[in-house]
Amino acid sequence: MTDITPQEGHDQGHGSAPAKLGYSPVADIPHKPRLTDTDPKAARRAERQVATMFLLSMLLIVLFVVAYVTIDPSSTVYIPVFGDVGASNFALGLTMGGAVFLIGAGAIQWAKKLMPDVEVVQQRHDMQSPRRATAEAAANYERGKEESGFARFTLIRRTLIGALVLFPIPLVVVLRDLWTASPAEAGKSPADLLSETLWTKGSRIVSDGTYLPVKPADLPVGGLVSAVPADLQEVEEAEGNLNARTKAAIILVRMDPEEIRSQQGEGWDYQGILAYSKICTHVGCPIALYEQRTHHLLCPCHQSTFDLADSGNVVFGPAARRMPQLQIGVDEEGYLVAMNDFQEPVGPSFWERG
């Protein structure tokens, strides 16, 4: 608990009366009034400066939304030192960063130039909170309200409220990305978008990280390999399409063919090697925790568990949908390949709720 006693007798700016606020003198601390304490014109100038910053913050929020809607996410812009950067990200970062900065700078300017400039004594007390302290806290709150001039500076109050009201808009606008990954995919449902991946008939399966093609002999019974399509790197470099990796990531597991109880399609394995999407059907965490004895795949996020020997069905946890299986085979050189794309959407199932 602290007791704060501001210095008495200092001009509080804009006509506030220290005596009215109940200040006590603080000895031995010289006080130098600010220009805004003594010159009403300077105070009004400071008020306009603060309001201008809040107004500019509002403008930047509007520009954020305009940039989000109009700038092609794949376009780039050259920035000295950084080189080519994504134009959309650059514009969004600049406008959002500027808006936050201006709200903060306006608040600091307000506090430094217009709020009371007084010296205070802060005394330490026991850690107890007597009832009197609660009343004092309430009184301090009221006094703070009075001192800050929140009621008095109507222009600042209104522009600050305007800036804060507009500030959450970008958070709502970017929710659009839950539905549409890029302008080229506009108009497609989430289920359609999640059903189309890079896998096609004959796509080679390569190990994620090394990008080396996988042969059946590379995978012992009980083993697991994280894999992606062979052309993923090329697509990412050409299109900068980050969703491509997320949607195409798979795990390969191998088990004794006798232990496979069911699959999502007739003979979709290759000699006991099964391929499943790596992205959990609950809310999309990547999964690679595999228990080879039970053939269970465990999601670390919310513990959904899938039985890979039984069509990837859910055996535990919040996931409501099985893990999508990819039909695989081998090409003429003996490397594992996809025989088709996934036959159902991969990843989280929010779209099922209509």
Contacts with ligand FES by CB under 6 A: the residue count is 12
Contact 261, 294 (CB under 8 A): no
Give the number of residues written for the chain: 354
What x/- string results for residues 77 through 96 when contact with ligand FES is judged by CB under 6 A? --------------------
- Shortest Cβ distance from residue 305 to ligand FES (Å)? 9
* Binder among 55, 285, 288, 314 for ligand FES (CB under 6 A): 285
Contact 228, 222 (CB under 8 A): no
**3-state secondary structure (DSSP) of residue 314:** strand
Using CB under 6 A as the binding rule, whether residue 282 contacts ligand FES is answered as yes
- Shortest Cβ distance from residue 18 to ligand FES (Å)? 59
* Cβ nearer to ligand FES, comparing 101 with 350: 350
Judged on CB neighbours under 10 Å (0-12, 13-18, 19+), 64 is: buried
> How many CB atoms neighbour CB 295 within 10 A?
20
- What is the per-residue DSSP string for 172-215? HHGGGGGT-SSGGGTT--HHHHHH--S--TTPBEEETTT--B--
* Cβ nearer to ligand FES, comparing 149 with 190: 190
Task: Please give the residues from 38 up to 77 whose contact with ligand FES meets the rule CB under 6 A.
Answer: none
Nearest CA to 177 out of 228, 242, 94 is that of 242
* Cβ nearer to ligand FES, comparing 203 with 304: 304
What x/- string results for residues 289 through 328 when contact with ligand FES is judged by CB under 6 A? ----------x-xx-x------------xxx---------
**3-state secondary structure (DSSP) of residue 326:** strand
* Binder among 283, 288, 314, 330 for ligand FES (CB under 6 A): 283
Q: Which residues bind ligand FES (CB under 6 A)?
A: 280, 282-285, 299, 301-302, 304, 317-319
